[in-house]
Structure 1
């Protein structure tokens, strides 16, 4: 026979949610989804969220900045794809904007551009043709844009650093 699950109490839910937040960054919508899956009432779930925010276990801005940093540096995502990922997490537009503001700093802007170059270089290496034909350039542009990089940046990199794309293919 199946055992009937006992609904989670406020204290148990707070403890479990705090444990999740201590392991890695979490956002409010994800924690709310988990709390409802655990069978916690909506009023208790809101109390848990407020308490986690008071204890600084959960902070949507901190989560969004960490998400943006990790997706840029480890996954090679551009600004648009990061924004879409944060939107899919159901974060507010103001939080998404704050997370992507860091890409406009001088140092971070250079890193953003070099990551875009790395992504484009990898695609050029895959194509194995030099000089790049018009179709190959279009493939590189499309690939970089699907990774979330903006067209003006991609076109500028392709125009100004086409020889560096070739150097890495040999």
Structure 2
């Protein structure tokens, strides 16, 4: 098996990464990994990343905001899960806080209501305690704050 890895000049890598970042917002960690996968040396990686930041292809605040909006709107994730995912991508506390501000509080609570109701309708369990546990596990897994989850369960399952 041939493990030939093409080598890239800094300009070629920069061009390739510009289109990688233009296609979708990326965080520094993803770009760094992509450059390492391309076989770039650390000093070249720093040079390419600096160039991408200066040309505004790489913007961690923009990435974290669009990530938070997307995961909330599309996947219906709660703030805890979004925060954890951003932390795994080495996003700063400041950017995480500003990303969470992108989520409207009314939309947030409305989404929790719809999600909880939809899931509850799908749970066929008759035992009230087991129903509560299944609903709680589901909502907590999706990253909704525990105090909101338990309030919602108390409201929905009597």
Relative to the length of structure 1, the TM-score reads 0.83
CA contact (8 A) 2:71 2:82 kept: yes
The aligned residue for residue 135 of structure 2 is 140
Task: Between 94-103 and 79-88, report the one with greater CA deviation.
Answer: 94-103
Structure 1 position 88, deviation (Å): 1.8
Structure 1 segments, 4+ long, off by >4 Å, are none
- Contact 2:29 / 2:89 at 8 angstroms: preserved in 1? yes
Structure 1 residue 149: Cα displacement? 0.5
Correspondence for 1:125 among 121, 128, 151: 121
Q: What is the distance in 2 between the residues matched to 1:127 and 1:19?
A: 45
Local SS of the residue matching 2:102: helix
TM-score by length of 2: 0.89
When the two structures are aligned, how many residues end up with a matched partner? 158
| SS at 1:102 equivalent | coil
Q: What is the aligned partner in structure 1 of residue 99 from structure 2?
A: 99
Whether 1:60 aligns to 2:60 is: yes
Q: RMSD over aligned Cα, in angstroms?
A: 2.1
For residue 129 of structure 1, report the CA deviation from its aligned partner.
5.9
Query: 1:146-161 maps to which residues of 2 (within 5 A)?
Result: 146-160=141-155
Q: Separation in 2 of the partners of 1:81 and 1:121? A: 20
Unaligned runs of 5+ in 1: 164-170
Map Cα deviations across residues 56-110 of structure 1 (whole Å, 9 max, x no partner).
Answer: 111011101111111111001100111111122222233222212334xxxx001
> Do structure 1's residue 37 and structure 2's residue 33 form an aligned pair?
no
What's the secondary structure of 1:26's corresponding residue?
coil
Matches within 5 A, 1:79-94: 79-94=79-94
